Structure formats: structure tokens, C-alpha cells
Amino acid sequence: MALNKLYLGTNLKMYKTNSETLSYLRELVSLTADLERERLQLFVIPSFPALADASRETDRASLLLGAQNMHWAESGQYTGEVSPRMLQEIGMDIIELGHSERRHVFDESDEFIRLKTHSAVEHGFITLLCVGETAEEKAAGQADEVLRRQLVSAFTDLPEGSASKLWVAYEPVWAIGVNGQPAPADYVAERHAAIRSVLRELFGTAGKEIPILYGGSVNLENAPGYIVLPNIDGLFVGRTAWEAPRFRTLMDLVIPLWQEKK
């Protein structure tokens, strides 16, 4: 069964400057003005320098805004880091944590991601936790085990009622970015089922309501095949969403299919 909302969002990674982000957001808001938001949640996750202006300019009834990372402490001797207090003050809605580039390029451990997840939840943010196995882990048949480890590590011992503020993105590391191979839909369906079962173990019936998004080389050709799968509540898109008209085309492809899935 589908959740009440379809989640469609993008991580802008380290591509758009402040002014580029603002024009992108303006265009996206205007190009999607006709879409009924009752059952659609759009979101954009820009780079840090763009967040304050983006937050001032963007009507959240249109889309939510998030940060690509966050330190867990409120303040401290952490040069180069950004704290929950800073992101609260500028009105961020979402904190994205554990993206594969953070885990694999910047060596973020499960323990760092656990601390950040707990802090994000405690500071009232929606927490978008990215999980995914590497090509080696996939080849060794360890995908579900890796997903379980990442989910259990980040989500164990969260305060009561936290599930309603959690989103999960399944992003196989080998499927992400310019060198990524799009994941076959049946493979994605199996991993999403595995994620759902861990969420149910951790949160009981509330685990059924946590949106699970798919990400990794989502494009106009493969998006329809993903959105019809059970346990896929949305798409977390990179390159295909970075021009607003193409993102809108993607929406037009998947929204009707998702509505039929209900």
C-alpha cells in the first residue's frame, strides 16, 4: 500500500552557487505551482551558502528545504562544521545524513552518522538518512546486512515518537553519480522490502509509515519502473533534477503512476 504522500526531491551536491540555487528554486516553484500538494512533498537540498537566502525566499507550502550535512553538537571547537542551532535559526526543514559521498569520500562512520541522526531528531528536523551498499558488498551478497547495520546503528534508541520525522533514502553506492549504473527495478524492490522490515522491527507499526525513497541515477527512462514498486514512496534525484524543467517532466511521468498504485 502506498503512503499518503509521494516524496520527490533533489540533493544539489556541490554544484550550484547561491545565485544559481535561488534561480533554480524560483523556476522550480513556478513550474510546479499547478501541482496539488496535498499528496505530494517536494524538497530541495542545496549547499550551505545558499540555505539562508533560499529559506527566506521559498514558500514551504511549495517545497521543503534541507541541509546536506550537520554536526551533532550545538557549538564547539569544530572548524568547518555547521551546527543544528545554526540550521534551526535559518529555518531548515530537513537534514540529510549518511549520503554515500559523506560515508565513502569523507569517511564518515556509522558512529558519526548515529550521533548526527540523534541530534537532528532531537532538534526537531526531518532526518533523511541515506543507506546503501557498495559494489563489493553487493557482490559478496551482503547488501541487506549492510542496510540493516546502517539503519539499526542510526535509529536505535531514538526518543519515543521519532519515527514520524524520519525519511530513508536507499541509494546503492554503485548506482550513484556519473559513473553509476542504474539499479534494476527488481533488485530495488528487494532492498526496499528489506529496509521496510528493519523499520518495522525498530518502530513497530510506525515503521510502516516512514517514507523510503530510491536514489541513484534516477532518470526519465527508469523513474516510471521504480515508482510503481511496492515500498517505494518517492525518488531522491541528482543530475536529472538539476534543471527545473527536467525535474517537472520527471514529476509528470511518475505522479500518475504513483496515484494508480494506491
Binding residues (CB under 6 A) for ligand PGA: these are 11, 171, 176-177, 180, 215-218, 236-239
The nearer residue to ligand PGA, 203 or 236, going by C-beta atoms, is 236
Beta bridge partners, 126, equal 94
The nearer residue to ligand PGA, 202 or 218, going by C-beta atoms, is 218
On whether the CB atoms of residues 132 and 100 are closer than 8 A, the answer is yes
Closest contact distance (angstroms) between CB of 30 and ligand PGA is: 23
Closest contact distance (angstroms) between CB of 215 and ligand PGA is: 4
On whether the CB atoms of residues 113 and 189 are closer than 8 A, the answer is no
Which entry of 108, 133, 137, 171 is annotated as an active-site residue? 171
**Nearest by Cα to 117 from 148, 50, 163:** 163
- Is residue 118 among the annotated active site residues? no
At 6, which helix (H) or strand (E)? strand 6-11
On whether the CB atoms of residues 246 and 236 are closer than 8 A, the answer is no
Q: What angle do CA 217, 219, 221 make, to 5 degrees?
A: 125
Q: Is the dihedral of CA 43, 41, 113, 180 positive or negative?
A: negative
The nearer residue to ligand PGA, 202 or 244, going by C-beta atoms, is 244
Closest contact distance (angstroms) between CB of 178 and ligand PGA is: 7
- Is residue 260 among the annotated active site residues? no
Beta bridge partners, 168, equal 129, 212
Closest contact distance (angstroms) between CB of 108 and ligand PGA is: 15
Which entry of 71, 99, 118, 123 is annotated as an active-site residue? 99
The nearer residue to ligand PGA, 13 or 200, going by C-beta atoms, is 13
Q: Which residues are catalytic?
A: 99, 171
